Amino acid sequence: MATTVTYSNDVTRIFQDVETLAAAQTLTAADSGKTYILSAAEGKTITLPALKSGVHFKFIIGAAFATSNWVVASAEGSNVQGVLIVNGASVDAADEDQINFVATAETVGDHIEINCDGTDWYVSGVGSQAGGITATT
């Protein structure tokens, strides 16, 4: 007589929440943890939510754009800190207002991650071409 053996997989599979953006967006703390693929013919502005400890996002260039920058802007301003590696060079972000993916210097796959401690946003990222990602006030 055959014996039936049942196997279960109790491991929960967790997938990243990924969203494609083609328009300007104002994020909320409830959007924390999402990865945004920036995909439009021209850049737009993404406004980060109010500072809140633990909030984090990732932004990736998903399509070349030609006429205007994709901008990731702090709602409060002057609180973006960190270091970006752009074309092998270090780009310092110190008390900046925004991070820019620069039109005509972008490369599909350029990306940043940004995390909040409740006081500041901390950014890290990689851009392929010189001037492809900048930090400005």
- What integer pLDDT is reported at residue 3 of this predicted model? 64
19 - beta bridge partners? 36
pLDDT (tens digit, 9 = 90+) per residue, 37-60?
999 999 999 999 999 999 999 999
pLDDT (tens digit, 9 = 90+) per residue, 2-44?
666 665 666 666 788 999 999 999 999 999 999 999 999 999 9
Residues 6 or more apart whose CB falls under 8 angstroms from that of 5 comprise none
**Helix, strand, coil abundance in the chain, percent, nearest 5:** 0, 45, 55
For residues 103-116, give the mean pLDDT: 97
47 - beta bridge partners? 26, 73
Neighbours of 18 (CB within 10 A): 12
Q: How confident is the model at residue 122 (pLDDT cuts 50, 70, 90)?
A: very high
- What integer pLDDT is reported at residue 43 of this predicted model? 96
- Residue 102 to residue 107: CA distance in whole angstroms: 10
Give me the domains of the chain, ranges plus CATH numbers.
Answer: 18-136 (2.60.120)
- What integer pLDDT is reported at residue 10 of this predicted model? 62
